[in-house]
Structure 1
Amino acid sequence: MSLTQSIENAKKFDEKDPLAKFRREFYLNPNRIYMDGNSLGLLSKKAESSLLQSLEDWKHHGIDGWTDGQQPWFYMAENLGGMTSTLIGAHSSETMTTGSITTNLHQMLATFFKPSGKKTKILADSLTFPSDIYAIQSQLELHGLSPDTHLIQVTSQDGRTLLEDDIIEAIDETVALILLPSVLYRSGQLLDIEKLTKAAHDKGAIIGFDLAHSIGAIPHKLHEWKVDFAVWCTYKYLNSGPGGVGGLFVHKDHLGRRPGLAGWFSSKKDVQFDMSHTLTHAETAGAYQIGTPHIFSMAPLIGSLELMNDAGIESIRAKSLSLTRFLMELVQENLIEDGFVITNPSEDDRRGGHVCLEHDDAARICKALKQQGVIPDFRSPNVIRLAPIALYSSYVDVYHVVEILKTIMREKTYQQFSNKRNVIA
């Protein structure tokens, strides 16, 4: 037995873990090992408390909760934007908690995609999450442009990852806007955001990123890198809860630009209740809000971000890399002979927050894992994603997941299940 394989080694890692104390801040099921925090993060006690506080504000203040509550609703989106900015290397004025990831993407495309002359195309990739492509296609159609000819999708050479040089090569004089994931949702590849942003600007294109699989797991320097815009969800690594309100970033250089999709909450705060039919939009990222904030879907994020900022994004990243490295080593030592292939990048600077395993029987293996108390994530057609989360996963958890996988494979218990995904995978 190697040192990596031993449960004793896992326990030593946990004993030395500076973030171990945060584990008790979360509601963990003692009969389960949760490895799906890259799809939906777990509830923390602080998130529960901040949600209950907004309910108390409603209970005691009624409509005056907008200004007089302990967590005033009228300023909640801006306050949460400020708390989020530290995680992405942004100014508070550049960051806003609002909408959903897809509505925010529509807002960014409506604001920044201005086809003219030769520049009439949007560049994306062939591995990105479908929702991003749906939004791009619909925005092109709103401009009277065919997605068949005006959407460029850079292909993958291996079907799993992208080469930054291939993306850069595809940026020609016809590309007006580029939208890419920071981390690919299947393989967990982390793209070089700084390199891609510089290349886009050198070629006269606007560039934005979907941070769904990196925010809360990986430090960013969006302002310094001069990224034009970004969007994200908050229910994964930020642990805001199912349907938690999303967020957006707009670089300071673009603040003051009129929102493509205007709404009442696009207004400057001090004139919003003048009720004018002429919009005076905010000079901050607040301009890109549309409708009234969804308070009870935002409130848990207050407590969650307090925890995140207390832990520190650099420390979170360091533990995440260590956990995923430990998991990959265990898989390599114990499961390769069973047909598993690790398809996420092994290098720390190219890997996001989850480990991607491919197996021909992935769907039925995930069902067998759940039967044994491990919560994984399946992605069609053959991907098992395992995400040990820095704030609540332990090295012992990771060790036990691999041991359970070994038992499932050796005893072939997965064969009792169909190799088809459930309705929600």
Structure 2
Amino acid sequence: MDADADFELGADYASERDERDPLADLADRFYDPDDEWYMDGNSLGLLSEDAEDALDRAVSEWREMAIRGWTDVDPPWFYYGEQLGDRLAPLVGADESEVVVANSTSVNIHTLVGTFYDRTEGTKIVVDELDFPTDHYAVRAQLRQRGVDPDEALTVVESRDGRTIETEDVIDALDDDTAMVFLPSVLYRSGQLLDVEAITEAAHDRDILAGFDLAHSVGVVPHDLSAIGVDFAVWCSYKYLNAGPGAIAGLYVHEDHFGAKPNLAGWWGHEKETQFEMNQTYTPAPDAGAYQIGTIPILSAAPLAGSLDVFEETSIEAVREKSLQLTEYLVFLVDERLPDCEIGTPRDPEQRGGHVAVEHPEAYRVGEALKERGVVVDFRPPNVVRICPSPLYTGYEDVWEVVEQLKRVVENREYEEFAERGSGVT
């Protein structure tokens, strides 16, 4: 962090910071719901005009070109997954051939973990207890399909404080029978950014594969996957990439692993040159494109094309710098204004992703009260209100106002007007 991190209190200060923000104009391209402060971009990013235009363009291509869209539009739908992968590659620090847009995040975990697990001699997979649940569901399913007991083969790194995972604990969990480590880059609850480079290096020193789920970091944290030597990675596109609910996912495979046959083989992962020869023998694409399975859903992928237009007008490093400033400012305000709340996110910027975990014993009801006031956040058990100042469309004044609303909810105990958490979607 630079000297600008010496923050001050007051709405005037926040407004002045917004006037100096080099990315401020990008917010004008996003649809922000009226009378709301939107702080949930770590779950679902806002719609941009660019994403909307790209979707409208795809619909027009379908209407006007029909089946010819596969070959005669620009870019041709036939190569859409690869073309979007090329555009995503700079955000994750990879060569274009190493990235493709395909499938869903869960499907990509299944195909990559399964494929690479079968190529190793070890039996154990190192995960951590604070992972997003779908990662464990998929890894356990892959182990069961191979007749391996997940309770024996999963090495689960435990948290020392219920919030974070220590790098040294991950490294200590690696042994001679470890096949791979598969971890999130950012913990979904606390927002901790793990040390991808140190974990990868330690794994490779022991001939162990290193894979990561970048769902909570892609689009807000720069990565250098190829240079670090990460073996594979997966991510979704609907959080910081702002590609829409259920948008198509992405994946990365290091070039050292090109040529492997994916365990979940499908026609769309066949080499493009001979795909329409309709051969019964599967020939995988020579790069990350091999991990495509079904035909790319154009209308699900098109908004990503538009959202990447926004990123291409700045840099992921500039996005990261603003994100760190906004989260640092949020932490400062919570410390100064909310004595009844605690910060559950690492204060070291090198260990922080794009959102902040604000802890309160009544976090669920606090979140409900905030929504009543027009502040859109989310709750994660047991005591976390996640607040995400997504840097492409959030400013310092937004953060100031959100903390003011939170202060009123907590000080006036407005949360007591709301019921305790029950079952169902939260």
TM-score normalised to structure 2 length: 0.97
Report if aligned partners of 2:323, 2:354 keep a CA contact under 8 Å in 1: yes
Give the counterpart letter for 2:409 in structure 1: I
Deviation string, structure 1 residues 134-193 (Cα, Å, up to 9, x no partner): 001000001100011011101011111011001001100010011000000011010111
Poorly superposed stretches of 4+, deviation over 3 Å: none
Q: Residue 21 in 1 paired to residue 25 in 2? A: yes
Query: C-alpha distance in 2, partners of 1:61/1:110?
Result: 38
Q: Secondary structure at the match of 2:127?
A: strand
Query: C-alpha distance in 1, partners of 2:198/2:368?
Result: 40
Report if aligned partners of 2:7, 2:332 keep a CA contact under 8 Å in 1: no
Report if aligned partners of 2:189, 2:384 keep a CA contact under 8 Å in 1: yes
In structure 2, which of residues 302, 310, 314 is the aligned counterpart of residue 311 of structure 1? 314
In structure 1, which of residues 53, 62, 83 is the aligned counterpart of residue 87 of structure 2? 83
Deviation string, structure 1 residues 47-66 (Cα, Å, up to 9, x no partner): 00000000000000111111
Query: C-alpha distance in 1, partners of 2:266/2:219?
Result: 28
Query: C-alpha distance in 1, partners of 2:288/2:422?
Result: 40
Q: Tell me the CA shift for residue 353 of structure 1.
A: 0.2
Q: Residue 5 in 1 paired to residue 14 in 2? A: no
Q: Secondary structure at the match of 1:271?
A: helix
Q: Secondary structure at the match of 2:204?
A: helix
- Aligned match of 1:184: 187
- Aligned match of 1:70: 74
Deviation string, structure 1 residues 217-244 (Cα, Å, up to 9, x no partner): 0000000000000000000000000000
Give the counterpart letter for 1:210 in structure 2: D
Report if aligned partners of 2:356, 2:388 keep a CA contact under 8 Å in 1: yes
Report if aligned partners of 1:358, 1:384 keep a CA contact under 8 Å in 2: yes
Q: Tell me the CA shift for residue 309 of structure 1.
A: 2.1
Report if aligned partners of 1:362, 1:419 keep a CA contact under 8 Å in 2: no
Q: How many residues align?
A: 421
- Aligned match of 1:222: 225
Give the counterpart letter for 1:230 in structure 2: A
- Aligned match of 1:171: 174
- Aligned match of 1:387: 388
In structure 1, which of residues 26, 33, 36 is the aligned counterpart of residue 40 of structure 2? 36
Matches within 5 A, 1:233-312: 233-312=236-315
- Aligned match of 1:147: 150
Deviation string, structure 1 residues 312-343 (Cα, Å, up to 9, x no partner): 1000000000000001000000002x2x1101
Q: Secondary structure at the match of 1:280?
A: coil
Q: CA 1:333 to 1:238, structure 2 compared with 1: closer, same or farther past 3 Å?
A: same
Task: Structure 1 unaligned segments of length 5 or more: list them.
Answer: none
Query: C-alpha distance in 2, partners of 1:227/1:71?
Result: 29
RMSD value, Cα: 1.2
Q: Residue 374 in 1 paired to residue 378 in 2? A: no
In structure 1, which of residues 52, 55, 61 is the aligned counterpart of residue 65 of structure 2? 61
Of 29-38 and 415-424, more deviation after overlay is shown by: 415-424
Q: Residue 414 in 1 paired to residue 415 in 2? A: yes
Q: Secondary structure at the match of 1:291?
A: coil
In structure 2, which of residues 193, 207, 220 is the aligned counterpart of residue 204 of structure 1? 207
Give the counterpart letter for 2:372 in structure 1: Q
TM-score normalised to structure 1 length: 0.97
Q: Secondary structure at the match of 1:152?
A: strand
Task: Structure 2 unaligned segments of length 5 or more: list them.
Answer: 1-5
Of 215-224 and 409-418, more deviation after overlay is shown by: 409-418
Query: C-alpha distance in 2, partners of 1:192/1:323?
Result: 21
Q: Tell me the CA shift for residue 71 of structure 1.
A: 3.8
Q: Secondary structure at the match of 1:310?
A: coil
Deviation string, structure 1 residues 69-115 (Cα, Å, up to 9, x no partner): 23421111001000100100000100010001100000101210027
Of 250-259 and 226-235, more deviation after overlay is shown by: 250-259
